[in-house]
Copies of this chain bind each other. A is one copy, B any other.
Amino acid sequence: MFAIGEASRQSGVGIETIRYYEREGIVPKPERASNNRRMYSANDIGRLRFLKKCRDLGFPLTDAKTLLILSEGGSEDCQSVKKLAELHTFNVRAKIDELKRLEAALIELTANCDTGNVSCPMLSKLRSV
């Protein structure tokens, strides 16, 4: 059994974040030692590591929670997992497209910077109707 600092080190999840996950019911409340300190089992730490990976993949926390539950329920509901992952991938692609649009717009907006204009061409464009 490990104290929260050690659990944090082993899982890569910050201490405050671990407590936050507990408050939010993402992970079950851990045992407490006689001095009231949280004590984490290897299993608990595995859960945190799982969540960390989901978050690193960009899954929303609620999805991460769902995946964790699916992972622990014996049924291995592959269909639900697939659906979540596909929706998330779709959202990631949509964000990429949006950001590419932004990038192109920014390039165009700053195209005439530094060509010795009297007034700033970017500001003029932002001001124009």
- Chain A interface (Cβ < 8 Å from any Cβ of B): 46, 49-50, 53-54, 57-58, 67, 70-71, 76-78, 81-82, 85-86, 88-89, 92-93, 95-96, 99-100, 102-103, 105-107, 109-110, 113-114, 117-120, 122-123, 126-127, 129
Contacts and interface: CB of A to CB of B under 8 A. Distances in A.
Nearest to A120: B78
Contacts of A103: 89, 92-93, 96
A105 B50 contact: no
A26 B49 CA distance: 42
Contact of A71 (B99, B102, B114, B127): B127
Contacts of A126: 50, 53-54, 67, 71
B99 A99 contact: yes
Given A76-B119, A88-B106, A96-B96, A113 B82 contact: yes
Given A53-B126, A76-B119, A99-B99, 17 more contacts: A46-B127, A49-B129, A57-B106, A57-B109, A58-B99, A67-B123, A76-B120, A76-B123, A77-B120, A78-B120, A82-B110, A85-B106, A92-B99, A92-B102, A92-B103, A92-B106, A93-B103
Nearest to A68: B126
